[in-house]
Structure 1
């Protein structure tokens, strides 16, 4: 202790932490509750997540078993229809061909299937929650702190309860990725709907629109660019989490990166990282271009 502590009471120099015995009892109680929950409801949880497993396996098999040229052409068509930008389409073709040339096509398809399923689940869950937050300040007050925790919690921590409840495998990894990636789409859906011009809402009320009509015909269309920004961020976070989730059984590029870190294979890690960056840029540029098109369309309609 320093000289200052010699003249102060001990309680002011050493923080009065909870005793080790009490902390051990608390940890045993919490861990035991988790284990009891898994024993009681483990089979029910497995049955509930079975459709996710089947859908993910089907999509992964579709991507990996289909001829590469067909997958590439379909991807280019989707990118072009969404972005309507020749530069993005050409960049996508070059990136995917480069990924295939270094022997990472199949692993990239596995990762693509995982990110696609995670994004779809995030959209299905996140947008309704964002709408509820926009329509109810009480719901926003309850959900916002949970989103704060989800966004600030270290990504590795998500794996602990997921593994305890669901075990090791693709579905637990998928659930961990969704938990990590879903906050942006919830927040930006809420923000987009709340930012809709009040004069537009008053005009809708004047025409006798019901709350449901106002939501689907006015608020959501006007909030679409912001919602698309949320989807964009969700995709980026899902790609970032795929590497961490590879620790609990998610295959694809994330598994290769983890193995490269473990074995100190710089080249393998760099190439798989390049593939992840390529996918991220494709998703980012395409979703941004689509969001800009939506925004211009809304400005034309209401300009």
Structure 2
């Protein structure tokens, strides 16, 4: 089956990048691969019991006793199924993809919130990124970076970045105008408005974007295993290839348990940010009222 002119253009474009910028892609691949390897090695070096205690303590601090007990039970189930090494591998991939998505996505979201034209362009690009089937990302990723963890991380970044960009833009645009006016009345610069008013008030929305980015990165675990990502996705893929229900279910259960833990933990930070936002809004409103009273 031959592709149309559109498909040929896409293929020629990827081949052009590969032919003319191969050195750059190889260097980036080596650097990103080293980061993922160090991250995975660091997580793997932590004994399971130490990680269990740490995550249970974190869950106790953020969500309470019930969720802490659930985290302990979930990690014990993962260890019982002998899937802890695969879980660590998947967690390293998700962390790497999420951190890069945030480093790129949050500034893009801020830029889009401050520039209407940029926001229009970003919206179109993000629509394309979110609606394109994730399997399609694997093809150019493999062509440009080969097989292994690096193309899996790249494909995961492309698939999981849109939520944090959208919700950062939305959060900053929804900051109340009276808060901006209060900041300007006290002589704040644009940078001070961003860091002291807009970002703190947009933090609940940004944290929701972080949460969604992590969930979408986890959803790519199984798909990325097709190009050598390893981890829990490879375990699930092995069950599919063998038609082994038991292996597939265990791998899928590991992904579900990891997703629930990460989802509830990141969600708790968003709840705390929302409470802090109310305090900031209340104090800023009082300051704005006081400045108007002094002005009159």
Same fold (TM over 0.5): yes
> C-alpha distance in 1, partners of 2:98/2:9?
35
> C-alpha distance in 1, partners of 2:63/2:90?
25
Are 1:154 and 2:133 matched, yes or no?
Answer: yes
- Using the TM superposition, give the Cα deviation of residue 26 of structure 1 relative to its aligned residue in structure 2, in angstroms: 6.3
1:45 to 14, 22, 25: 25
> C-alpha distance in 2, partners of 1:143/1:127?
12
> C-alpha distance in 1, partners of 2:269/2:7?
48
Does structure 1 retain, via aligned residues, the 8 Å contact 2:113–2:119? yes
TM-score, normalised by the number of residues in structure 1? 0.88
- Using the TM superposition, give the Cα deviation of residue 176 of structure 1 relative to its aligned residue in structure 2, in angstroms: 0.2
Are 1:100 and 2:79 matched, yes or no?
Answer: yes
Aligned to 1:187: 166
Aligned to 2:182: 203
1:63 to 26, 38, 43: 43
> C-alpha distance in 1, partners of 2:13/2:167?
35
Runs of 4+ more than 4 Å apart:
23-30
Aligned to 2:191: 212
Does structure 1 retain, via aligned residues, the 8 Å contact 2:201–2:280? no
> C-alpha distance in 1, partners of 2:87/2:216?
17
Secondary structure of 1:250's counterpart equals coil
Aligned to 1:247: 226
Mark the runs of 5 or more structure 1 residues left unpaired by the alignment.
Answer: 1-19
2:273 to 294, 297, 300: 294
Cα displacement string for residues 52-96 of structure 1 (whole angstroms, at most 9, x for unaligned residues): 111110111112232111222233344444x24222222111111
- Using the TM superposition, give the Cα deviation of residue 43 of structure 1 relative to its aligned residue in structure 2, in angstroms: 2.2
> C-alpha distance in 2, partners of 1:30/1:274?
37
Aligned ranges 1:94-173 → 2 under 5 Å: 94-173=73-152
Aligned to 2:14: 34
1:276 to 251, 255, 265: 255
Aligned to 1:16: none
Secondary structure of 1:196's counterpart equals coil
> C-alpha distance in 2, partners of 1:26/1:284?
39
Cα displacement string for residues 97-152 of structure 1 (whole angstroms, at most 9, x for unaligned residues): 11101111110111111111111111111100000000010100111000001111
Aligned pair in 2 of structure 1 residues 27, 276: CA closer, same or farther (>3 Å)? closer
Aligned pair in 2 of structure 1 residues 247, 203: CA closer, same or farther (>3 Å)? same
Does structure 2 retain, via aligned residues, the 8 Å contact 1:134–1:190? yes
Secondary structure of 2:125's counterpart equals helix
Aligned residues: 282
More deviation in 183-192 or 55-64?
A: 55-64
- Using the TM superposition, give the Cα deviation of residue 259 of structure 1 relative to its aligned residue in structure 2, in angstroms: 1.2
Aligned ranges 1:13-32 → 2 under 5 Å: 27-28=7-8, 30-32=10-12
Does structure 2 retain, via aligned residues, the 8 Å contact 1:88–1:286? no
> C-alpha distance in 1, partners of 2:93/2:247?
21
Secondary structure of 2:187's counterpart equals coil
More deviation in 105-114 or 40-49?
A: 40-49
Are 1:258 and 2:271 matched, yes or no?
Answer: no
TM-score, normalised by the number of residues in structure 2? 0.90
Aligned to 1:226: 205
